[in-house]
């Protein structure tokens, strides 16, 4: 990759690279490959960071339960800024800080998408697990084709995946005051997703961002990846310029817009994100995370 935002910037500015003490990355579309796994090269890159005394953390829209699987599979245990900044957890899942959506606010969110409820999946991410408000066939089709990594599974294994998501209706969900970190609206109809952005934003007191063209992720107004990462950096006793961060989606813009040591957009990211970043690396399917980390580590020698 050439140009003003190529990886050569990291190689050339060795003083800046030597100051990095933390690398934080989004997961889907950034740290994970096309099958939802951590590639061997990316896992080696993390090992290289730790050996160099650089801390590693993930900043993801996923819940702890959804994120820990591919990390543990790759032998990685790290701090996590989860659910777009709604919670900060250590490697064992211990909560360090959290922002939850009040029950009244959840009712307002559901009211906002009421006209589309028959065509929309709403996923509520809570401290008790995930709840699904949707027609069953719609939910199963979307999750089997969009959410779960593409791999061979037995019918029993697939059913176990689905059973991790509890299906409820609106009244049942709101009956109990659950600790809800994030409400996610999902649909393969990207025009529908565009149509509901205005009503969701009009709710007020929430942060609305997307990790894919097929969703909106609604969190507490103080919960965004940028705010979550900034607070985590300060609580870790670090400075913004000592941090390198990676992202690819709309919900990563608040993170990459911070005045970091290095902000890196994935090659598969949108143009709006690439404009906010200082550097552009390869796509997640090309181990773009490892490409940039390898240059960073080489420049510190």
What do you get for the CA distance between the two ends of the chain, in Å? 22
Residues 38 and 31: their CA atoms lie apart, in Å, by: 7
Residues 50 and 53: their CA atoms lie apart, in Å, by: 5
Give the model's pLDDT for residue 51: 97
Tokens of 104: 């009244």
User: DSSP character for 199?
Assistant: H
Give the model's pLDDT for residue 199: 98
Q: Averaged over 253-273, what is the pLDDT?
A: 96
Q: Averaged over 165-173, what is the pLDDT?
A: 95
Q: Using DSSP bridges, classify how beta strands 95-98 and 87-89 pair: parallel, antiparallel or unpaired.
A: antiparallel
Give the model's pLDDT for residue 180: 96
Checking if the pLDDT of 144 tops 60, the result is: yes
pLDDT in tens, 216-257: 999 999 999 999 999 999 999 999 999 999 999 989 999 999
Are 289 and 30 a contacting pair, CB within 8 Å? yes
Binned at pLDDT 50, 70 and 90, residue 2 comes out as very low
Are 57 and 22 a contacting pair, CB within 8 Å? yes
Q: Averaged over 20-41, what is the pLDDT?
A: 96
Give the model's pLDDT for residue 19: 96
**DSSP letters for 236-263:** TT--GGGEEEEE-SGGGHHHHTS--SEE
Q: Give the HSE-up count for residue 113: Cα atoms under 13 Å, Cβ half-sphere.
A: 31
Q: Which residue has the higher pLDDT, 158 or 119?
A: 119
pLDDT in tens, 183-224: 999 999 999 999 999 999 999 999 999 888 999 999 999 999
Walk across the sheet containing 262-265 and list its strands: 95-98, 87-89, 79-82, 55-59, 22-25, 243-247, 262-265, 279-280
Q: Averaged over 148-164, what is the pLDDT?
A: 75
pLDDT in tens, 68-122: 999 999 999 999 999 999 999 999 999 899 999 999 999 999 999 999 999 999 9
Q: Which residue has the higher pLDDT, 159 or 249?
A: 249
Checking if the pLDDT of 3 tops 70, the result is: no
Tokens of 134: 């949707």
Binned at pLDDT 50, 70 and 90, residue 1 comes out as very low
**Region of 36 on the Ramachandran plot (φ > 0 left; ψ -120 to 50 alpha; else beta):** left
Binned at pLDDT 50, 70 and 90, residue 39 comes out as very high
User: DSSP character for 10?
Assistant: H
Q: Of 105, 131, 115, 87, give the one whose Cα is nearest residue 206.
A: 105
Helices (H), strands (E): how many in the chain? Answer: 13, 14
């Amino acid at each position: 990759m050439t140009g003003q935002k190529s990886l050569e910037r990291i190689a050339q500015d060795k003083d800046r690279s030597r100051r990095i003490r933390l690398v934080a990355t989004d997961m889907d579309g950034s740290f994970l490959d096309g099958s939802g796994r951590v590639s061997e090269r990316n896992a080696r890159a993390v090992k290289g960071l730790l050996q160099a005394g650089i801390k590693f953390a993930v900043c993801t829209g996923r819940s702890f339960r959804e994120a820990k699987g591919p990390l543990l599979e790759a032998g990685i245990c790290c701090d996590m800024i989860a659910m777009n900044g709604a919670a900060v957890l250590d490697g064992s899942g211990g909560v360090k800080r959290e922002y939850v959506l009040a029950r009244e606010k959840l009712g307002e969110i559901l009211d906002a998408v009421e006209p589309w409820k028959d065509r929309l999946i709403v996923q509520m991410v809570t401290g008790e697990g995930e709840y699904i408000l949707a027609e069953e066939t719609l939910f199963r089709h979307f999750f089997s084709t969009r959410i779960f990594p593409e791999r061979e599974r037995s019918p029993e294994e697939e059913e176990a995946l689905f059973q991790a998501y509890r299906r409820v209706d609106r009244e049942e969900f709101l009956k109990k005051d659950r600790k809800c970190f994030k409400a996610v609206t999902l649909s393969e109809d990207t025009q529908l997703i565009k149509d509901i952005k205005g009503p969701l934003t009009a709710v007020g007191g929430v942060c609305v961002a997307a990790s894919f063209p097929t969703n909106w992720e609604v969190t507490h107004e103080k919960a965004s990846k940028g705010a979550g990462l900034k607070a985590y950096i300060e609580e870790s006793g670090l400075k913004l310029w000592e941090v390198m961060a990676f992202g690819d989606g709309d919900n990563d813009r608040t993170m990459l817009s911070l005045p970091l040591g290095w902000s890196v957009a994935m090659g598969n990211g949108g143009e709006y994100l690439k404009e906010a970043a200082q550097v552009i690396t390869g796509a997640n399917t090309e181990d773009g995370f490892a490409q940039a980390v390898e240059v960073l580590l080489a420049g510190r020698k």
